[in-house]
Structure 1
Amino acid sequence: MQKNIVLKNIKSYLGITVEVRILKWKEFEIVKTIFEGDSTVIHRAIDTNGKYIIIKHLKNEFPTSKEILKLKKEYNIVSSIQEEGVIKPIKLLGDNRNFAILFQDIGGESLTKLLNGDKLPLEKLLSIAIKIAESLEVIHKHGIIHKDIKPHNIIINPQTYQLEIADFGISSMLSRETPSIEKIENIEGTLPYISPEQTGRMNRNIDYRTDFYSLGITFYEMFTGKLPYFSHDSLEMIYFHIALQVTPPDELNSEIPLPLCQLILKLLEKNAENRYKSAVGVKHDLQQIYELYVNNPEKLSRYTIAQKDIPDKFAVPQKLYGRENEIASLLQTLERVVSQKSGRSELLVVKGFSGVGKTNLVKEIQKSVSEKKGFFLSGKYEQFKRDIPYYGIVQAFEELNTLLLVEPESKIRVWKNNILNAVGSNGQVILDVIPDLELLIGKQHSLLNLNLTEAQNRFILVLKDFIKVFAKKEHPLVIFLDDMHWVDSASIKLLQAIISDSDIKYILFIFSYRDNEVDNNHSLIQLLNDIQSSDCLIHTIHLLPLGFHDVNQLIADILQKDKEQIYELTNIILSKTDGNPFFVIEFLKSMYNDKIIFYNSVENSWSWDITRLKSIEVTDNVIDLMTKKIGNLSGVGQNLIRLASCISNRFDLNTLSVINQKSIPDTANELEELLKEGLIVPEGISYQFVTDDSETNRHIHYNFLHDKVLQAAYETIPNNNKENIQLFIGRHLWENTLENELDDRVIDIVNHSAHVVFCVTPHKIRRNSNVTFFKL
């Protein structure tokens, strides 16, 4: 148990006057409390040898599992870095309740405190900036994304100017993460310093370049004395980061030379593709600016930044190539839906082959929807879920529920009242398809029993009223339904009723489908024909494979080469992939993994072995390429991805651990290989905090990178094993689903058990005919 004794005593520590606080944490004497947060406390202390150390320990007497796991993860990350520039751990201490990390003490203080003191000359600030860039270079070299770069987490000795970056509590060792939409207080990072993509409000993954944006904010504050954005409203802060351009720093401080201003603005680009590509490039420019500022100031204004900014990591840009016209068409359609005074709904259809980039194209609209204060919802239909009614639509409205629940409490109350006023006594109709909406609107009255047709009609009418709550000029609604070639018949009927209703305004529906997998008799084509005859406008975008110019530009951006230098390489890749974007990217990754493409550290540039590429036999089928990649996994990894492919494109950790017949933490550890290979993508950050408690883990979900990865994994399973696995999943779901949740999962249970005789005890299932229609 901790014991606090505060002594009214003053002593000097490295020239700094501090109040002495003696706090016994085990055998250490606490000299000063440096920081106290919601879950951790940081002290300067003296160990048993009389040496100063830093202690970071959990604040709560009974910490949560997540708090313990977070501290352990931080220790593991910082322990993997031996170079200077990063805070050095000594050991991890802990028992069942009290955990702490001991760090070496460089006698430093936060950069925040230093900046709040006497004004530092530009020359000194530049030297500090160089050290920060050097430290970030070390972090990124180890494949770590810090995710919380800010002056408070930069420790500097005020006498020696030794510098270290600290606080790796939310850092990641994945090359990229997919952020989820969270309540403001749960967003990872610090709002004044957070990148647009890290807010979770954009269609972008997080990679190491999120740190460059935070670095840009830090530099802006260092050299101007002000943050580029500030608001007491957290949602407004997020909006600033996403949409508002900064005031150039040299307008606030005329001493800032032009190249330094350009460097800071490049770090602060909204689009990560336009930021620096490496910490090495940032460091090089800062060093050159420093040298010119000190020794040749007359030449400084002519310096060109980012000339040595060559990434040493193989990274595929997230921007779309060759889709400028299609993106413009998307944005024009959105603008038309929003700007019309009378309001109307429209339908945009995006068609093309698998892997051509339909999903990524549509999600380019997400930022614009956010800027218009609208809702962007998405749902995805799946090949093996075609018997589940409203499968994609339900996903979309589950997303809506998530968006509403992360709003401030005052807004949540408004939404609750608006929804209840719209649906009246029929709230249970909505809860039957979106059970988690009960968290927002509370329990609802039971419904009158109706026959099948009447129940379906009631459901459609109530859902229309529900949609009208959100589809308004001040917050338009965009609903994207992906892979509509796998749509179910119930969704077809519902969509026809909604889209054809002229009373529903300010809503844009977007469908995507593979046009090579449907014919004129497909239910989707029939739906489109029916909608065409109504008052709703329909627009179609036909996505084609990329041409030579676009593939050439993509490769040039990855390898940082002039386009003329890679004509031959482009021709070979184009001939193997037919310009299919997904295939092109995966083909390039396989070339990198096979060391046909490699980084030449001597020449500081990317190289490739064209002779070897020409001589090897390379598949011209993306499924074969994915099968080869899966075959290169460990035996454990291969088994796990096959099991996951039997669940769904999106699967949860609990179900996977059961069919894997291992504990939840063990299964999560085995998944690390698939995550690092990029075959599986985690949703949000909860995957980092896995416990033995299935209830705690029930929100941990993963997605396959692409349908083709799932297909390749599934096709490697012998047919007789597929049936056994599906039955096992069905039994698991049946045995572990609570009785009050059976209505929501019964179709999924039957779907997994479709290959066998599956006996259901009739009295255990209450059928809601407007929700689930199935045959036993």
Structure 2
Amino acid sequence: MVKNCQLGPVLSYGSEGIVHSGTWRDTLAAIKVLSNQYARRVENEVKLVRSVNHTNIIKYYDLEYEQGTAYLAMEFVAGGNLYEFIQRKFTSSSYWIIVDQILQDIARGMIYLHEHHIIQGDLKSHNILLRDGTHEAVICDFGIAKLLDDDNQEKRRTNTTKGTIRWMAPELCAPPPEPSSYLSDVWSYGCIILEITSAREPWIEQFNDDSLLFRALQRKENASVFNNVCANQSGPSHLCHLLIQCCSWLKTDRLQFIDILQKFTTEDDQTMSVGSPVASKESFFDKYDDIPIFDYKKKIQPQLEKTSDDSDKLIN
């Protein structure tokens, strides 16, 4: 028993601590137990998340200390995460309907964050929790989130590249790396769509090694590889085309989250089959119908070999 926290069974083990189910002031909670070295790093995260209030964003209740250990009390979300859902439900008949709702929930949460000048910085399926029964999405893990000032500048700028490589935008990898931004969050959202349509981690079929992927993201010559992967996904057409617009190599061509949510609203106003692998219907996305068919062996393999051969020239 820690002042306001009471620990229950272990939910998960992580690099920074152990997460228990439990209670905080008689409220069901998830409680992360951290050593002080990690606790000091999450203090800003706690302040940031406690300043916002949205149904699609995790709630942080408190950060307490006792005898060199910290206890972070958070909202308890019982339905697992999106990564687990994709692996379990990819072939189910209701899959596309549910992930459509999840993607809209994520977009709503991200709109709210960006309106409050917050960059999430590590958006991925593992950091999207799902409420049990409803599958409502809840964005979590703000360990590298950033607060911008009124001029959209970081309050404390660093030159360190942070994030999870498979969801990181190319401009965050290029030498020198750009700071994360609203539009790098959009790229990460596109990578979640790629996970949803493929049931695999982003870019894993093309770059099965993280260091190879990182080097590929550093070179603008590889843009066509990523573009072609996006253009040749299977799944509902509106998701496939939304993927193209979110994972544009040129960040200024990416959608904002308010536009992304509007695309779903447009789709909801029209008849669409999402129970089959590919929904066929006319929409504004039809302008992309002239994208050439992608041949993996002709397009990707030579570039992978070139990337590997040139690796000594790249910045690791």
Instruction: Please report the TM-score for the alignment, with normalisation by the length of structure 2.
Output: 0.76
More helix by share: 1
User: Quick one: which of 40, 45, 50 aligns to 1:74?
Assistant: 45
User: Quick one: which of 19, 27, 31 aligns to 1:42?
Assistant: 19
User: Quick one: which of 69, 78, 99 aligns to 1:98?
Assistant: 69
1:272 partnered with 2:251: yes
Identical positions, percent: 18
1:128 partnered with 2:108: no
Tell me how far 1:77 sits from its aligned partner. Answer: 0.7
After the TM superposition, which parts of structure 1 deviate over 6 Å for at least 4 consecutive aligned residues?
Answer: 295-299
Tell me how far 1:293 sits from its aligned partner. Answer: 4.6
Distance 2:133 2:240 in 1: 28
User: Quick one: which of 264, 267, 270 aligns to 1:286?
Assistant: 264
Q: Contact conserved, 1:89 with 1:102, CA < 8 A, in 2?
A: yes
Q: Contact conserved, 1:110 with 1:156, CA < 8 A, in 2?
A: yes
1:587-606 to 2 correspondences below 5 Å:
none
Residue 82 (structure 2) aligns with: 111
1:47–1:302 CA distance, 2 compared to 1 (3 A): closer
1:28 partnered with 2:9: no
Residue 190 (structure 2) aligns with: 216
1:407-426 to 2 correspondences below 5 Å:
none
Q: Contact conserved, 1:44 with 1:53, CA < 8 A, in 2?
A: yes
Tell me how far 1:291 sits from its aligned partner. Answer: 3.8
1:197 partnered with 2:171: yes
1:271–1:97 CA distance, 2 compared to 1 (3 A): farther
Distance 1:233 1:219 in 2: 21
Q: Contact conserved, 1:70 with 1:170, CA < 8 A, in 2?
A: no
Which residue identity does 1:46 align to in structure 2? T
1:106-255 to 2 correspondences below 5 Å:
106-119=77-90, 120=92, 121-174=95-148, 175-176=152-153, 180=159, 187-199=161-173, 201-202=175-176, 204-230=178-204, 231=207, 233-242=209-218, 243-244=222-223, 245-246=225-226, 247-249=228-230, 251-253=232-234, 255=235
1:252-263 to 2 correspondences below 5 Å:
252-253=233-234, 255-257=235-237, 259-263=238-242
Distance 2:236 2:217 in 1: 23
1:68–1:262 CA distance, 2 compared to 1 (3 A): same
Tell me how far 1:84 sits from its aligned partner. Answer: 1.8
Residue 57 (structure 1) aligns with: 33
1:384-463 to 2 correspondences below 5 Å:
none
Which residue identity does 1:272 align to in structure 2? K
Provide Cα deviations, 1:396-415, integer angstroms capped at 9, x if missing partner.
xxxxxxx6xxx5xxxxxxxx
Q: CA RMSD in A?
A: 3.0
Distance 1:280 1:92 in 2: 33
Distance 1:79 1:43 in 2: 20
Give the match's secondary structure for 1:53.
strand
User: Quick one: which of 282, 305, 315 aligns to 1:301?
Assistant: 282
1:98–1:136 CA distance, 2 compared to 1 (3 A): same
Give the match's secondary structure for 2:109.
helix
1:544-559 to 2 correspondences below 5 Å:
none
Tell me how far 1:249 sits from its aligned partner. Answer: 4.7
Which residue identity does 1:71 align to in structure 2? V
**Which one scores higher on RCO, CA 8 angstroms, separation ≥ 6?**
2
1:236–1:80 CA distance, 2 compared to 1 (3 A): same
Q: Contact conserved, 2:174 with 2:217, CA < 8 A, in 1?
A: no
1:179–1:282 CA distance, 2 compared to 1 (3 A): farther
Distance 1:298 1:53 in 2: 40
Distance 2:66 2:18 in 1: 17
Give the match's secondary structure for 1:292.
coil
1:160–1:214 CA distance, 2 compared to 1 (3 A): same
Q: Contact conserved, 1:196 with 1:202, CA < 8 A, in 2?
A: no
Distance 1:203 1:188 in 2: 10
Give the match's secondary structure for 1:30.
strand
Which residue identity does 2:246 align to in structure 1? L
1:82–1:203 CA distance, 2 compared to 1 (3 A): closer
Give the match's secondary structure for 1:81.
coil
Provide Cα deviations, 1:561-611, integer angstroms capped at 9, x if missing partner.
xxxxxxxxxxxxxxxxxxxxxxxxxxxxxxxxxxxxxxxxxxxxxxxxxxx
Distance 1:235 1:295 in 2: 39
Distance 1:305 1:170 in 2: 37
Which residue identity does 1:146 align to in structure 2? Q
Give the match's secondary structure for 2:182.
coil
Provide Cα deviations, 1:523-554, integer angstroms capped at 9, x if missing partner.
xxxxxxxxxxxxxxxxxxxxxxxxxxxxxxxx
Tell me how far 1:199 sits from its aligned partner. Answer: 2.9
Instruction: Please report the TM-score for the alignment, with normalisation by the length of structure 1.
Output: 0.33
Q: Contact conserved, 1:285 with 1:305, CA < 8 A, in 2?
A: no
Deviates more, 1:239-248 or 1:152-161: 239-248
Distance 2:202 2:279 in 1: 29
Q: Which has the larger radius of gyration?
A: 1
Q: Contact conserved, 1:53 with 1:103, CA < 8 A, in 2?
A: yes
Tell me how far 1:57 sits from its aligned partner. Answer: 2.8
Give the match's secondary structure for 1:117.
helix
1:109–1:372 CA distance, 2 compared to 1 (3 A): closer
Q: Contact conserved, 1:122 with 1:223, CA < 8 A, in 2?
A: no
1:94–1:239 CA distance, 2 compared to 1 (3 A): same
Tell me how far 1:301 sits from its aligned partner. Answer: 2.6
Q: Contact conserved, 1:137 with 1:280, CA < 8 A, in 2?
A: yes
Unaligned ranges ≥5, structure 2? 288-309
